[in-house]
Chain A
Amino acid sequence: AQSVTQLGSHVSVSEGALVLLRCNYSSSVPPYLFWYVQYPNQGLQLLLKYTSAATLVKGINGFEAEFKKSETSFHLTKPSAHMSDAAEYFCAVSDSMTGFQKLVFGTGTRLLVSP
């Protein structure tokens, strides 16, 4: 069974500081990996997606993530945090071999950005 573990339910940074949100995955087959962001009272917006084409994936709003198979990690980073980045972030994994589309999400990390 596939799963993801997000380390840290809350991460606090100052505006302009580096953002690092951690995600480790478990999958018996080559995975698709995703980062989604959720703003209050809204649905999920895709930040980026790993599909095996490149280990460093660039997404929207200046975010990027690096796939490290040896560490089974897919951490999300942003060089400089903005106040508008404050939200809940979810890492998710999908099985590339299954005949249907199912994302398994982590428990989420709430990013707090202080001025």
Chain B
Amino acid sequence: DAGVTQSPTHLIKTRGQQVTLRCSPISGHKSVSWYQQVLGQGPQFIFQYYEKEERGRGNFPDRFSARQFPNYSSELNVNALLLGDSALYLCASSPRVRTSDKEKLFFGSGTQLSVL
């Protein structure tokens, strides 16, 4: 079975531009979460979507938005890019909306975004 897939793997943008990152969860997984990992730091939670609805949001500005499609794939959009948005953006999928004893959170390899 395929794991979590993200595209593109690398992206270079300039300040002020807009970017869209894509994520396909593991087959059967209905939850997709997005994390931002700035160089030298741990990942930070941006959003969780479950059954096409936003279920959780981290402390990120409104320039960050996301959506989930009927096939459970997801897009993360960032408007008006800043230099500080340069980071590895990770997508994770799981079967359910909440952490539980049995389930795991599976991460993709990420999209490396560089803002010049």
Chain A contacts for B96, CB-based, 8 A: 101
Q: A44-B43, A90-B43, A107-B42 are in contact. Are A101 and B108 (CB under 8 A)?
A: no
Residues of A in contact (CB 8 Å), total: 28
Chain A 81-102 residues near chain B, CB threshold 8 A: 90, 92, 94-96, 98-102
Asked if A99 and B43 make an inter-chain contact with CB atoms under 8 angstroms apart, the answer reads no
Known: A101-B94, A102-B48, A108-B42. A96 touches B107 (CB 8 A): no
Asked if B43 and A101 make an inter-chain contact with CB atoms under 8 angstroms apart, the answer reads no
B25 adjacent to chain A (CB < 8 Å): no
**Do the beta carbons of A101 and B99 come within 8 Å of each other?**
yes
Given A44-B107, A101-B31, A108-B56 contact (CB < 8 Å) = no
Cβ of A105 under 8 Å from chain B = yes
Task: Provide the residues of chain A in CB contact with B98, threshold 8 Å.
Answer: 98-101
CB of A26 within 8 Å of the partner chain:
no
- Residue among A44, A49, A99 with the highest chain B CB neighbour number at 10 A: A44
Please judge, given known A-B contacts A101-B56, A101-B94, A107-B41, whether A51 and B101 are in contact too, CB under 8 Å: yes
Annotate B75-101 by CB proximity to A: 1 below 8 A, 0 otherwise: 000000000000000101010111101
Contact across chains for B56 and A105 when beta carbons are under 8 A apart:
no
Q: Contact at B42–A105, with CB atoms within 8 Å?
A: yes
- Given contact pairs A43-B4, A43-B90, A101 touches B33 in the complex (Cβ within 8 A): yes
26 contacts between A and B (CB under 8 A): A36-B107, A43-B4, A43-B110, A44-B43, A44-B92, A44-B107, A46-B105, A46-B106, A52-B101, A90-B42, A90-B43, A94-B99, A98-B56, A99-B56, A99-B98, A100-B50, A100-B55, A100-B97, A101-B55, A101-B98, A102-B48, A102-B58, A103-B43, A103-B45, A105-B43, A108-B41
